[in-house]
Chains A and B, each alone.
Chain A
Amino acid sequence: MRINDYFVEGGIVVVRLLLVGLVCFALVEILFMGYGRYRQTAMAAARGLDGPDIELLERQNQAHERVIHATAPGIVYIRTEQIVKAEQSPTFMDPSLRQFFGGGAPQIPQDQKQHALGTGVLFDPSGYIVTNNHVIAHASTVEVMLTYKRVFKAKVIGGDPDTDIAVVKINATGLPTVPLGDSSSLHVGDTVMAFGNPFGLNFTVTRGSVSALGRSDFNIEAVQDFIQTDAAINPGNSGGALVDVKGQIVGINTAILSGNQGPRGEGGFMGIGFAWSRAT
């Protein structure tokens, strides 16, 4: 071996050793950096995440809270009572059966009280409330409960079965109201909130989007412009407000779609609710 070859071979060995060293160093760095990041994330999760993206979500939550605080005082709980004539079974009117019972028959009350609950929205500080006609239809008495549990007897000012809209009034002044908005400026995908008393869970707020506009053909002939939303609407929400992100009424929650009736014919939320459009 010549002396030059000896030096060249030695150089190659040194370069190889350097490369191996670099690779090992890089591997160690990657492993430790990865562990460091993992440790950082784990520590952040323990105390809650932060950062510009999280702050954006927090600001969105704060905006929703503002809408809710501004709107909720104008939402009311409506309780109605209706006297229903109970049909007397012809069986009990049979003379032989009456004789069997010693001249009398088991008595079924002629009148039964039927209660219904719904929601309403204060739109005038002197106590005018808009709701669905089907909430107060045939009611003999109507009671209204405000956010702070104040209860009033209400008078039905008028109801229109064709549009399913009714107005009731309570004797009070200076009440908080919900401003009327412009439903014609709504777009599919816009955020909306539904305020109401589903299943008697008073003053519930749900949030969703406008799923579609201009829905019709629900046998409410006078209204051909329903807002379809995935904000949860359930029994008890009827007559409540659908508000936009400015806290303005864009619709009145009226109906839900139910393709799967329960054993007693009840309907539940399927992600499709309909609000009577304010523009109607």
Chain B
Amino acid sequence: MIVSVNRMPVNSLAEFDEAAANAKGSTLLRIIHQGQAIFVVVPPEGGDSD
């Protein structure tokens, strides 16, 4: 479960979409995965390497 985007809490899909749209550069997600908290850095689109 994604609970924050760039350290702004998100409580709904709409809030997530808005936060993700406003994100510039890397996006920092706070994720609760099977009860484990972790920050995940997602590089900007197009930043992937082949």
Contact = CB atoms under 8 A, between A and B. Distances in A.
Q: Which secondary structure characterizes the binding site on chain B? A: strand
A80 B3 CA distance: 15
Contacts, number: 101
B41 A236 contact: no
B41 A198 contact: no
A118 B31 CA distance: 12
A135 B39 CA distance: 9
A103 interface: no
Give the most central of B9, B23, B25, B26: most A CB within 10 Å. Answer: B26
Contacts of A134: 4, 30, 37, 39
Contacts of A164: 39
B37 A117 contact: yes
Nearest to A139: B37
A5 interface: no
B48 A235 contact: no
Give the most central of B31, B34, B38, B48: most A CB within 10 Å. Answer: B38
B36 A257 contact: no
Contacts of B11: 87
Interface string B21-48: 0010111111111111111111100011
Interface of A: 80, 87, 114-118, 132, 134-135, 137-138, 161, 164, 197-200, 217-220, 234-238, 254-259, 261, 264-267, 274
